[in-house]
Amino acid sequence: MMTTTKHAIAVSVNDQPGVLQRVSGLFGRRGFNIESITVGQSEEEGLSRMVIVTEGDDQTLEQIEKQLYKLIDVIKVVNLSSKPMVSRELALIKVKAEPAERPEIKSLADTFRASVVDIGTKNMMIQVVGDTEKINAMLELLKPYGIQELSRTGVTAMTRGNA
Amino acid sequence: MKTESQEIKSTEQLREKWMKPEVITGSEVLLRSLLLEGVECVFGYPGGAVLYIYDALYGFSDFHHLLTRHEQGAIHAADGYARASGKVGVCIATSGPGATNLVTGIATAYMDSVPLVVITGNVNQQLIGTDAFQEADITGITMPITKHSYLVRDVKDLARIIHEAFHIANTGRKGPVLIDIPKDVSAAATLFEPEKTMKLRGYNPTIAPNRLQLDKVAAAIKEAERPVILAGGGVVYSGGHEELLDFAEKTEIPVTTTLLGLGGFPSGNRLWMGMPGMHGTYTANNAIQQSDLLICIGARFDDRVTGKLDGFAPKAKIIHIDIDPAEIGKNVHADIPVVGDVKTVLEQLNKLVARAEQADAWRDQVQQWKADKPFKYKDSNDGLKPQWVIEMLNRTTQGAAIVTTDVGQHQMWAAQYYKFNHPRSWITSGGLGTMGFGFPSAIGAQMAHPDRLVISINGDGGMQMCSQELAICAINKIPVKIVVINNQVLGMVRQWQELIYENRYSHIDLSGSPDFVKLAEAYGVKGLRATNKEDAEAVWREAMETPGPVLVEFVVNKNENVYPMVTQGSTIDQMLMGDCE
């Protein structure tokens, strides 16, 4: 049995209409899992970079890479998880906060280097940036206060140094 | 073959005329570009969104346009043309229902790696997304079944897109490419300059193999005691049939050819073992299962070939040669993967390999199996057996015809009993298994080879799925010999219901189908029928001697099964032998 692990894959694609559909459709019809997907400009004009977090054994990963390369609009596929990398995600968390609880929540946010970006009469909005584990930990700590709304960007990532 | 339209001039003559830069409409850009890509024949059906294109086709005679009676007929014909000729098949349909009628044909071509350029019209760009009349998101619908697709947004891109589409369709692992042209784009004017460059950064198929891998292949052959070559459609598509013959002769390794590989290796050759898989030969299936080296060349380990995957070729080291790296390791782990064009790989390999010295006992074993377990059926002089009909077709044509089939029992009998010796002579829907493919694909094959005998073998089920194309055969005098093997039943479904669903025959009765002879005659095609051997020989002779299209119906026994058969979930050496016992 091969073990299933999480991987972040960076896919450079032509910035063409429909390219996200081509990539996500491929994952869908081949039964590959998508945990998160982010898309945006890359350093090169005309190219976008997608970062896809997926789960699978080595054989599945190999198939994902090969199948992606079959798409004409895919220029390069890099399995970031096979190299030292930085991965980041941003979350906006709206947490219930009576005025009396505000300092406590603020200090929690500070320890995570998260920031309070909005304060309502009965809630606060926290912005946290970090890897997935850090955001999960932040959420865990905020849960007792009551999370009213959560929005996460999904992971974007890059290899370190010259790798 | 005589057609009504004018004599087509050579593309070379026309090239000069069309190369001149000029301000023309998108529709004219399309026609000129097709011509410059060497297109001789397109299959199509007009409609609202392609009116400008058809207007440009008015009086245009530099390539044939064949008006089918259904868009599905058009795309299967384009597919048959491509498979028979090795060139790109082209079809045109309008937006909405015209485009969606192509979907089955696109999927058929995609599964069997057939190069097509599919042109669809779409509504005006400002109407796209408004659920306009006859609007369908055909690029979205066909994304999973095309190699690539384009929605043309600017007429300035059209020439480049068409040039790219032909390149993508007919290189690497071949496949269908769709170009969706909104009506305003086909109407808009632009300065046409022939596209000569190709800038496709994300597309660069590997043609030449890695030399180190070839050395490993040669070494593995040297050591092998029970080697087998499993050759597929890639041999035919790459034009590597001579190299395969050379490879097999040099190494003296027995060869099995998949359904799509038939014709890629001469059936008369002593090394040929027939087809493997669900309805394959005893020899091929046992050879694969007992082999210690399986050399898979341009095949993709389809489930109809492998049977139960985790018991497939259990003792074999696997060499997998394919142009598509994604096929390697997809279903079966490859010990020695070789990515490259089959013809190129074999050319290089043939310089490195020698006779497999350790395999003499194995060669004897294979010959023994071939002698002991050929395909067999219980013939009868009372009525007609379908297998006998195919044998008769084979005998009277010396295996030299181009044969197209539909899908089902007749397809398997044709694969078993027609003995192919030339590539691109066997045209069948293998991957998708598309009923309705057999007859229109023959029209395309005949357009590609006007002087060859083209036989289209159909069942009574599939014949009724595209029978409307009898019209274009009659009108254009396309001399396809249409065979209908009529057992009044959906035979392959009947076989499964008999063997696996305990004789619960559910909705398979096709009695009450039209009189096929009268149906042919209604379209102006000669119709003939036989119900016994004597008549069968006579009407077939008459069909062959008749110029133009002829439909011949052979009425056969309905209870005949295709054997051997590997049922689902079994390994391929677990065969029901039936009459082959």
pLDDT in tens, B186-201: 999 999 988 888 889 9
Chain segment B71-120, per-residue pLDDT in tens: 999 999 999 999 999 999 999 999 999 999 999 999 999 999 999 999 99
Q: Is B3's pLDDT higher than 50?
A: no
List the B227-231 sheet strands across, edge first.
B255-257, B227-231, B293-297, B317-322, B336-339
Which residue's structure tokens are 């357009």?
Answer: B447
Domain that holds residue A144: 86-159
Q: Which of A62, A66, A72 sits opposite B168 (nearest CB)?
A: A72
* Rounded CA separation B578/B560 (Å): 10
Q: Is B320 helix (H, G, I), strand (E, B) or coil?
A: strand
d(CA B457, CA B538): 18
Nearest to B186 by CA among B54, B62, B22: B54
Q: Classify domain B11-192 by CATH architecture.
A: 3-Layer(aba) Sandwich (3.40)
Structure-block tokens of residue A37: 């997907």
Please tell me the distance from the alpha carbon of residue B150 to that of residue B148, in angstroms, as a whole number.
7
Read off the pLDDT of each residue in B139-150 and give the average, rounded to a whole number. Answer: 97
User: B329, A67: Cβ pair inside 8 Å?
Assistant: no
Enumerate the domain spans of chain B. 11-192, 211-372, 386-562
Q: What are the phi and psi torsion angles at B9 (to 5°)?
A: -80, 165
Rounded to a whole number of angstroms, the distance between the first and last alpha carbons of chain A is 30
Contact call for A66 and B326, based on CB within 8 A:
yes
Residues B421, B425, B431, B434: is their CA dihedral positive or negative? negative
Task: List the structure tokens of A48.
Answer: 């976008």
What is the rounded average pLDDT for all residues in chain B?
96
Same domain, A53 and A118: no
Burial class (CB in 10 A: 0-12, 13-18, 19+), A151: exposed
- CATH of range B211-372; options 3.40.630.30, 3.40.50.20, 3.40.50.1220, 2.40.30.110: 3.40.50.1220
Q: Provide, as residue numbers in chain B, all residues whose Cβ is less than 8 Å from the Cβ of A57.
A: none
* B439 part of the active site: no
CB contact under 8 A, A18 and B329: no
B201, A14: Cβ pair inside 8 Å?
Answer: yes
d(CA B244, CA B258): 14
Burial class of B498 by CB neighbour count within 10 A (0 to 12, 13 to 18, 19+): middle
Q: How far is A90 from chain B (nearest CA, A)?
A: 31
| Cβ–Cβ gap B329/A73 under 8 Å | no
Q: What percent of chain B has pLDDT over 70?
A: 98
Rg, Å, chain A Cα set? 19
Q: How is the beta sheet containing A47-56 ordered, strand by strand?
A: A36-41, A47-56, A5-14, A74-79
Residue B121 β-bridge partners: B181
How large is the C-alpha radius of gyration of chain B? 24
Record: fold of B386-562: Rossmann fold (3.40.50)
Non-local (6+) Cβ contacts of B194 within 8 A are B18, B19, B32, B33, B36, B159
A18 and B139 in contact by Cβ < 8 A? yes
Query: How large a percentage of chain B has pLDDT more than 90?
Result: 93
Instruction: Give the A:B interface size as CB pairs under 8 Å.
Output: 40
Q: What is the pLDDT of residues B449-503, one digit of tens each?
A: 999 999 999 999 999 999 999 999 999 999 999 999 999 999 999 999 999 999 9
Q: Do B201 and A71 touch (CB under 8 A)?
A: no
Confidence of residue B2 (pLDDT cuts 50, 70, 90): very low
| Same domain for A137 and A78 | no
- pLDDT of res. B11: 61
Catalytic residue among B87, B183, B373, B526: B183
Q: Minimal Cα–Cα distance from A80 to chain B, Å?
A: 20
Do residue A27 and residue A92 come from a single domain? no
Q: How many CB atoms lie within 10 A of CB A105?
A: 21
B211-372 and B11-192 share a CATH fold: yes
As a whole number, the mean pLDDT across chain A is 94
Please give the helix or strand (H or E) that residue B285 lies within, else none.
helix B282-290
Per the annotation, the verdict on B134 as an active-site residue is yes
Task: For residues A20 and A74, state if they share a domain.
Answer: yes
| Chain B residues with CB-CB distance to A69 below 8 A | 325-326
Does residue B560 surpass a pLDDT of 80?
A: yes
From A47, A82, A117, give the residue that closes a domain.
A82
Note the pLDDT of residue A77. 97
A1 contact partners, CB below 8 Å, separation of at least 6: none
Query: Is residue B71 annotated as part of the catalytic site, yes or no?
Result: yes
Distance (Å) from the alpha carbon of B575 to chain A's nearest alpha carbon: 30
Tell how far CA B138 is from the center of its chain: 23
Task: Give residue for tokens 């193999």.
Answer: B209
10 Å CB burial of residue A31 (0-12, 13-18, 19+) is exposed
CATH number, domain of A33, equals 3.30.70.260
- For residues A107 and A68, membership in a common domain is answered with no
DSSP 3-state of B558 = coil
**Which 3 state secondary structure label does DSSP give B511?**
coil
Closest residue by Cα to residue B47 from B106, B78, B92 = B92
CA distance B63 to B31: 9
| Residue A163 scores a pLDDT above 70 | no
Amino acid in the structure at residue B229: I
Of B54, B127, B150, B132, give the one whose Cα is nearest residue B94. B54
In this predicted structure, the answer to whether residue A108 has a pLDDT above a threshold of 70 is yes
Cα B333–chain centre separation:
26
In terms of domains, do A94 and A76 share one? no
Structure tokens at B408: 């089902």
Q: How far apart are CA B367 and CA B272, in angstroms?
A: 10
Please check the confidence at residue B1 and state whether its pLDDT lies above 50.
Answer: no
Question: Pick the residue with more confidence: B568 or B54?
Answer: B54
Statement to judge: residues A18 and A76 lie in one domain: yes
pLDDT score of B18: 77
> Interhelix angle for A58-70 vs A19-29, to 10°?
140
Cα of B151 to nearest chain A Cα, Å: 9
Quote the pLDDT of residue B10: 57
Q: Which residues pair with B481 in a beta bridge?
A: B455, B550
Tokens (6 digits) for B252: 């003296």
What residue has token string 């429909």?
A: A18
Q: End of a domain among A82, A111, A146?
A: A82
- The answer to whether residue B540 scores a pLDDT higher than 70 is yes
Mean pLDDT for the stretch of residues A54-83: 95
Query: Which residues fall within 8 angstroms of residue A152, CB to CB, at 6 or more apart?
Result: A36, A89, A90, A91, A135
Nearest Cα residue in chain B from A64: B326
* Mutant choice from B199, B330, B331 vs A, greatest count of A C-beta within 10 A: B330
CA angle B256–B260–B264, rounded 5-degree value: 60
Please tell me the predicted confidence (pLDDT) of residue B6: 45
Structural domain count of chain A: 2
Domain boundary among A82, A106, A124: A82
**CA atoms of B91 and B551, how far apart (whole Å):** 25
**Does A96 lie in the same domain as A75?**
no
As a whole number of angstroms, the distance between CA B240 and CA B218 comes to 18
Kindly state whether residues A100 and A45 are assigned to the same domain. no
Range B576-581 average pLDDT:
88
| Minimal-distance CA residue of chain A relative to B174 | A70
The predicted model gives A47-73 an average pLDDT of 96
Q: How far is A140 from chain B (nearest CA, A)?
A: 40
Residue of B nearest to A63 (CA): B326
Instruction: Give the distance between the most distant pair of CA atoms in chain A.
Output: 57
**Of B501, B500, B502, the residue nearest B570 (C-alpha):** B500
H or E segment to which residue B294 belongs = strand B293-297
B449 and B402 in contact (C-beta within 8 Å)? yes
Distance CA(B24)–CA(B32), nearest Å, equals 10
- Residues B9-42: pLDDT tens digits? 556 666 777 788 899 999 999 999 999 999 999 9
What would the pLDDT profile of B304-332 be if each residue is shown by its tens digit?
999 999 999 999 999 999 999 999 999 99
- What is the reported pTM? 0.95
Bridge pairing between strands A47-56 and A36-41: antiparallel
Q: Within a 10 A sphere around the Cβ of B327, how many other Cβ atoms?
A: 23
Q: Which of B125, B134, B348, B488 is catalytic?
A: B134
Torsions phi, psi for B144 (to 5 deg): -75, -10
Examine the predicted complex and report whether its ipTM is higher than 0.85. Answer: yes
Same domain, A90 and A153: yes
Mean pLDDT of B381-410: 96
